[in-house]
Amino acid sequence: MISEKTSATLRTLMRLVVQKGTAQQADVPGYRVGGKTGTAEKAVGGGYARKALLSSFAGIFPMDDPRYLVFVMIDEPQGIKSTWNYAGGGWTAAPTVADVILRIAPLLGVRPHEEDNGPFQQAAFVIEDSRKKP
């Protein structure tokens, strides 16, 4: 068991990982996602394979009242041009967690925080939605 102060500190740090750190690809406007990335070289023949990775991201939401955790691990991800050939958890697993949260949060009854959805973000949603319609 940890104290409320320690819990608040950890939640703040995990939120910062998504807001400004290695998991910015996991941010879902309005849902206050926090989390932890992970990248490990796979053990091969008594050593480690530099190109054979396991990448992961554990995303928790909403961070002001954590209720849900989404964990994604990818076995031997490949960096691509859009990730500048990075294959770590922040580039591969974190965006997948964001996609899952975006889809399941409404189904779970988690409403987005309106103050996190400024007018520019709301306008972006309207523009994006209008482009999808024929």
Cβ pair 22, 37 in contact under 8 A: yes
Question: What percent of the chain stands above pLDDT 70?
Answer: 85
Closest CA to 110 of 55, 54, 70, 58: 70
What pLDDT digit, counting tens, does each position of 63-109 carry?
999 999 999 999 999 988 888 888 899 999 999 999 999 999 999 99
The tally of domains found in the chain comes to: 1
What pLDDT digit, counting tens, does each position of 20-56 carry?
999 999 999 999 999 999 999 999 889 999 889 999 9
Boundaries of domain holding 111: 4-132
Written as six digits, the tokens of 11 are 């939640």
**Is the model more confident about 120 or about 134?**
134
Quick one: CA dihedral 27, 8, 110, 93, positive or negative? positive
What pLDDT digit, counting tens, does each position of 70-81 carry?
999 999 999 888
CATH of the domain at 103: 3.40.710.10
